[in-house]
Amino acid sequence: KAGVTQTPRYLIKTRGQQVTLSCSPISGHRSVSWYQQTPGQGLQFLFEYFSETQRNKGNFPGRFSGRQFSNSRSEMNVSTLELGDSALYLCASSLGQGARETQYFGPGTRLLVL
Amino acid sequence: AQSVTQLGSHVSVSEGALVLLRCNYSSSVPPYLFWYVQYPNQGLQLLLKYTSAATLVKGINGFEAEFKKSETSFHLTKPSAHMSDAAEYFCAVSDQVDDMRFGAGTRLTVKP
């Protein structure tokens, strides 16, 4: 069974631009979560989608948004990029919702904002 | 609100020595606890998880962790370190209310 895939793997943008990251979950998984990983802040939860609905949201500004499609694939969008948005963005999928569900992570998209 | 504290941002052991990575959690309800490993330029891989079935949890690659409610700890151990264990390790907590929270991570170095 294929794992979680994320595209693109690497991205370079300039301040003020916007970016869209894509995540394809493991087949059959309906929940997708997004995380931002930086050396300074560590791993921080962005949001979670389940059955095309945002179920939970972390403490990030409105410039960060996402969505989930009927096939469970998810996209994350960051508008008006700032230097501080440079990070590894990780997507994780799980079979269902809930605290006991195991999250399986993709390799991440490394975003560099210049 | 739940949180995780990993004691020691860097741990160095010799090959063949015991690995002990410390994790303490805070949760207002019975938690689910996880250990993940991250190799350079890769995502996180689940090592093991605690879901209240048993306090001693065995994971992949010879790792195990023991849930101690009285100490609010979930330390990760491996009897004998291997060079391939060098990586960053993250402890995470999840409960019925909040999203998953990760610790700051512990970078494990294994010396030959």
pLDDT band at B5 (very low <50, low <70, confident <90, very high): very high
Mean per-residue pLDDT, B11-21:
97
User: pLDDT at position B34, please?
Assistant: 92
Chain A neighbors of B49, CB-CB under 8 A: 102
Q: Under an 8 A CB cutoff, do B105 and A105 touch?
A: no
- Whether A95 and chain B come into contact, CB under 8 Å, resolves to no
Instruction: List pLDDT tens digits, range B48-107.
Output: 999 877 889 999 999 999 999 999 999 999 999 999 999 999 999 887 666 788 999 999
Q: Under an 8 A CB cutoff, do A108 and B42 touch?
A: yes
Chain B neighbors of A102, CB-CB under 8 A: 34, 46, 49
pLDDT band at B43 (very low <50, low <70, confident <90, very high): confident
- Whether A2 and chain B come into contact, CB under 8 Å, resolves to no
Indicate the length of chain B as a whole number: 112
Nearest to A57 by CA among A81, A41, A76: A76
B28, pLDDT greater than 80: no
What whole-number distance in Å separates Cα of residue A84 and Cα of residue A86? 5
- Whether A99 and chain B come into contact, CB under 8 Å, resolves to yes
What whole-number distance in Å separates Cα of residue A34 and Cα of residue A47? 6
Instruction: Identify the segments of chain A with pLDDT beneath 70.
Output: 1, 99
User: pLDDT at position A84, please?
Assistant: 96
